[in-house]
């Protein structure tokens, strides 16, 4: 349920509504807007009596939230959420600027990562991606450098000011990754790892949540809801392609999700055209298409030597391609009254 307070409702009246919500066995989420305060009552409210809330002083009306996700829904919050990324460059996702997050699929060694970090910065990126813990289909494939990789990412941040986006694969890794990352990446394979979603929900750093490779939009938003329901509202959705019958690309990249997310949710959404296509030659065009349809950012795999990359070289563009791409993205962003950060 959403309790819409009357304009000019007092802080005491808001507190009273919060008390009533708690007495009903629900939890409150108070959103103080410029004109009025709205309080979302979270939990299973099907059998709850909303009369008590409707009659409380200062309440204008009480409405059911129709979507199964509550905190992620636009019904609860109309203004778009802007997530600050961290790093000294101070980028954000969800505002007027389209964020560019780029870097290798995985951190391979110090020289590789530092070289790419400087190059993506020069190309115009505000955040650096790179996996230290890699979820690989084969247990025999390169699994990432672990903590050593995190240390290298932190060094790259210190040298460039880029915010660090890196994957956390399990609940036990959360405290370690939190020491180094600016943004937790939750990978496609973990979108329904509810214990992990809760664990990052308890952190106070943004979470880039990738869509499960066979998840519906509703399941995706419910996964975001898991994170938000633990108090962390800084969720960045990421469309990274879904599994279909198609074989010419690694995944099928359904860009219609971008305007649809903007219609039903206030959360920002970025697009990963690298996992989304599996082919470097498709990445620039799909990046432009993503910005044209309103994506709040791109997360792109970029490698100075894709042929020798330990992971995902085939879908990694070079720093020069990234630089050229960033320039054309500016033109597209301008056409829709945005810019690229």
Q: Minimum CB separation from ligand PEP for residue 127, in Å?
A: 13
- Please say which residue, 75 or 239, places its beta carbon nearer to ligand PEP: 239
Pattern 272-311, binding to ligand PEP, x per CB under 6 A? x--x------------------------------------
Q: Using CB under 5 A, which of the segments 103-111, 218-226, 251-259, 333-341 binds Mn ion?
A: 103-111
- Our finding on whether 92 is near ligand PEP (CB under 6 A) is no
- Please say which residue, 76 or 101, places its beta carbon nearer to ligand PEP: 101
37 binds, among ligand PEP, Mn ion, none (CB under 5 to 8 A by kind): none
Rounded distance, CA 173 to CA 132, Å?
A: 11
- Our finding on whether 105 is near ligand PEP (CB under 6 A) is yes
Rounded distance, CA 95 to CA 93, Å?
A: 6
Q: 76: closest CA among 62, 93, 87? A: 62
Question: Is there a contact between 293 and 286 (Cβ–Cβ < 8 Å)?
Answer: no
Residues 110-169 that bind ligand PEP (CB under 6 A): 131, 135
- Please say which residue, 225 or 312, places its beta carbon nearer to Mn ion: 312
Question: Is there a contact between 273 and 287 (Cβ–Cβ < 8 Å)?
Answer: yes
Task: Quickly count: other Cβ atoms within 10 Å of residue 121's Cβ.
Answer: 21
Question: Is there a contact between 54 and 61 (Cβ–Cβ < 8 Å)?
Answer: yes
- Our finding on whether 107 is near Mn ion (CB under 5 A) is no
Rounded distance, CA 314 to CA 224, Å?
A: 30
- Please say which residue, 29 or 240, places its beta carbon nearer to ligand PEP: 240
- Name the packing angle between helices 283-292 and 319-335 (round to 10°): 20
- Our finding on whether 250 is near ligand PEP (CB under 6 A) is no
- Our finding on whether 312 is near Mn ion (CB under 5 A) is yes
Task: Quickly count: other Cβ atoms within 10 Å of residue 243's Cβ.
Answer: 12
- Please say which residue, 131 or 319, places its beta carbon nearer to ligand PEP: 131
- Our finding on whether 105 is near Mn ion (CB under 5 A) is yes
124 binds, among Mn ion, ligand PEP, none (CB under 5 to 8 A by kind): none
**Which single residue is written with the structure tokens 């990754």?**
177
Rounded distance, CA 259 to CA 333, Å?
A: 15
Considering only 157, 240, 266, 303, the residue that binds ligand PEP (CB under 6 A) is: 240
Rounded distance, CA 153 to CA 114, Å?
A: 8
- Our finding on whether 187 is near ligand PEP (CB under 6 A) is yes
268 binds, among Mn ion, ligand PEP, none (CB under 5 to 8 A by kind): none
188 binds, among Mn ion, ligand PEP, none (CB under 5 to 8 A by kind): ligand PEP
How many residues sit in the footprint of ligand PEP (CB under 6 A)? 9
Radius of gyration for the chain, computed over Cα atoms and rounded to the nearest angstrom? 21
Rounded distance, CA 301 to CA 281, Å?
A: 12
Q: What is the torsion angle, in degrees rounded to the nearest 10, for the CA atoms of residue 190, residue 194, residue 199 and residue 201?
A: 100
Which residues of this protein are in contact with ligand PEP, per CB under 6 A? 105, 131, 135, 187-188, 210, 240, 272, 275
* Site of interaction with Mn ion (CB under 5 A): 105, 312
């Amino acid at each position: 349920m959403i309790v819409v307070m009357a304009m000019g409702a007092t802080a005491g009246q808001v507190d009273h509504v919060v008390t009533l919500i708690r007495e009903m066995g629900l939890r409150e989420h108070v959103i103080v807007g410029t004109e009025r305060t709205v309080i979302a009552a979270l939990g299973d409210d099907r059998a709850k009596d909303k009369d008590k809330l409707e009659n409380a002083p200062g309440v204008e009306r009480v409405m059911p939230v129709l979507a199964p996700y509550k905190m992620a829904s636009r019904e609860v919050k109309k203004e778009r959420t802007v997530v600050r990324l961290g790093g000294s460059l101070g980028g954000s996702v969800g505002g007027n600027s389209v964020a560019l997050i780029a870097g290798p699929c995985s951190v391979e060694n110090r020289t590789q990562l530092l070289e790419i970090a400087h190059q993506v910065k020069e190309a115009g990126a505000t955040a650096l991606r790179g996996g230290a813990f890699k979820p690989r289909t084969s247990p025999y494939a390169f699994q990432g450098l672990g903590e050593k990789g995190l240390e290298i990412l932190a060094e790259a941040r210190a040298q460039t000011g880029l915010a660090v986006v890196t994957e956390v694969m399990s609940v036990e890794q959360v405290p370690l990754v939190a020491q180094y990352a600016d943004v937790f990446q939750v990978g496609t394979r973990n979108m329904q790892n509810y214990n992990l979603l809760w664990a990052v929900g308890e952190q106070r750093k943004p979470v880039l949540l990738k869509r499960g490779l066979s998840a519906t939009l509703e399941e995706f938003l419910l996964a975001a809801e898991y994170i938000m329901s633990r108090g962390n509202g800084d969720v960045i959705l990421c469309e990274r392609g879904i599994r279909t019958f198609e074989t010419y690309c690694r995944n099928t990249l359904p860009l219609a999700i971008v305007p649809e997310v903007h219609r039903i949710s206030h959360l920002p959404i970025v697009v990963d055209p690298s996992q989304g296509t599996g082919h470097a030659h498709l990445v620039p065009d799909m990046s432009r298409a993503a910005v044209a349809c309103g994506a709040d950012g791109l997360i792109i795999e970029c490698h100075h030597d894709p042929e020798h990359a330990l992971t995902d070289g085939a879908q990694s563009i070079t720093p020069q391609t990234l630089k050229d791409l960033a320039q054309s993205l500016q033109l597209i962003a301008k056409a829709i009254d945005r810019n690229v950060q």
